[in-house]
A = this chain, B = another copy of it.
Amino acid sequence: MAEWITVTYRIETPGSCAAMAEKIASDQSTGTFTELPGETDAVRRRCAARVLDVVPLAPSETPSLPDDRPGPYNRADARIAYPLEAIGTDIAALMTIAIGGVYAVRGVSGVRVMDIDLPPAWAVHPGPQFGIDGSRRLMGAPEGILLGSIIKPSLGLLPEETAEMVRILCEAGVDFIKDDEKLMSPGYSPLAERIATVMPVIDAHEQKTGKRVMYAWGISAADPDEMMRNHDRVVAAGGSAAVVNINSIGPGGMSFLRRRSQLCLHAHRNGWDMMTRNPGFGMEFRAYQKIWRLLGVDQFQINGIRAKYWEPDESFVRSFEACRTPIFDPADRPLPVVCSGQWGGQAVETYDRTGRTTDLMYLAGGGIHGHPMGPAAGVRAIRQTWDAAVAGETLEDHARDRPELRASLDTFGAR
């Protein structure tokens, strides 16, 4: 299928899924609501999408979107192929032709974009500049999990308060620290001032220990010029990473940034849940993450086991696997960032359910800051949970002669 882009849609309708697949193929390429003289065979050959197959699934008793037609609601996975010539290699064209319109189609009680298969011609996109290997290199951490933390509370700290927390986290032994995704450049902590206040702490820690902690700065702005000014401020101060709120800047902002970036781009997908939380509608992460990887995401936040947010564990496990799967080349894989309510107690299950790899960043906020013996003990406790996971031990066993882990289990274990 070298000259085709194939999209898999999970269709749900009280009518025929096969007929709906044909309607989507027509609507998303050449169709309008009435027969037109201009829609010739030549036009169709050039641009018409084709239904490759329709694989039935068990019907559902309840519709994914409100529907006053009686059920059951038939379900099927339909693969539709779009000619490369009709879409080209532009991401906005792909989103518009093969993705965006499908949610407007009348008659479905649900429709979900499950996957996108791209032909080799799509390997023109920049992809991650750093990815897994570059992230490890910048953090000076060639093996094991990369351990990160988020500055909390999310909002409201003055720059000097942030700097003090960074000092504590550096001393505690993390590899990575980030601004909360909600922190960009507010009046009480403008980015330039925050950099000027915090970076000396990171520099001093490197002087003392040889370890340069990676700090990801909240550079996002709707205006790409402003975002680039933020990027340049980070680079000028010797920084190596940035938090990018990909949905809040959109593909245009991300594309603009990546083509000029010298920073490792840590993606927060804030807003993504709107697209995926209804399991019968919207988009599966497997499809979504391909777009953002091609655009240049280096590190991708994907929740974790027993996240504090709504996401089921199986969905996280699928997301992790998606990130681990090359699109065109192993170098286009971002570093999966496991996060949300993580304190180490999920390490064993995470390791066992995600292919027993330590090529990941494990991000803990409250799990470090809230440790009863202090943040350094919180960091040690989390590293101990991963040692246990790799060694195949239970946390209870591993905690026997490790007081930090013992305290973590006692404090956070009921969660």
Contact = CB atoms under 8 A, between A and B. Distances in A.
A167 to B, nearest CB: 13
Interface in A168-195: 181-182, 184-188
Interface stretch (A196-204, A269-277, A318-326): A269-277
Contact of A90 (B34, B92, B104, B221): B221
Given A245-B96, A278-B65, A153 B90 contact: no
Contact of A96 (B44, B153, B184, B367): B184
Interface stretch (A207-215, A223-231, A383-391, A393-401): A223-231
A154 B32 contact: yes
Given A250-B251, A277-B281, A33 B92 contact: no
Interface string A81-116: 000011110111101110111011111100000000
B155 A29 contact: yes
A56 interface: no
B90 A222 contact: yes
B310 A105 contact: yes
A226 B97 CA distance: 18
A341 B33 contact: yes
B100 A248 contact: yes
Contact of A185 (B33, B90, B310): B90
Given A96-B220, A278-B281, A44 B366 contact: no
B186 A93 contact: yes
Contact of A253 (B28, B185, B251): B251
A356 interface: no
Interface stretch (A35-43, A69-77, A329-337): A35-43
Contact of A66 (B182, B223, B252, B279): B279
A161 to B, nearest CB: 7
Identify the interface centre among A153, A157, A254: most chain B CB within 10 Å of its CB. Answer: A153
Contacts of A274: 100, 103, 274-275, 281-283
A254 B255 CA distance: 13
A352 to B, nearest CB: 23
A91 B44 CA distance: 41
Interface residues of A, number: 102
Contacts of A85: 186-188
Contact of A250 (B62, B249, B309): B249
A273 B103 contact: yes
Contacts of A252: 222-224, 227, 249-254, 256
A142 interface: no
Given A101-B270, A224-B224, A248-B251, A153 B36 contact: yes
A156 interface: yes
A92 B370 contact: no
A342 to B, nearest CB: 10
A46 interface: yes
Interface of A: 28-39, 42-44, 46-48, 62, 65-66, 85-88, 90-93, 95-97, 99-101, 103-108, 152-157, 161, 165, 181-182, 184-188, 220-227, 245, 247-256, 259, 268, 270-275, 277-279, 281-283, 295, 308-311, 341, 365-367, 369-370, 412, 415
28 contacts: A32-B152, A32-B366, A33-B308, A33-B365, A34-B367, A34-B370, A38-B369, A39-B153, A47-B156, A66-B279, A85-B186, A86-B156, A88-B187, A90-B184, A90-B222, A92-B245, A95-B271, A96-B182, A100-B245, A103-B273, A103-B277, A106-B310, A223-B256, A224-B256, A225-B256, A227-B252, A252-B254, A274-B283
Q: Which 4 pairs between the two chains have the least Cβ-Cβ distance? A: A250-B250, A252-B253, A100-B271, A43-B156
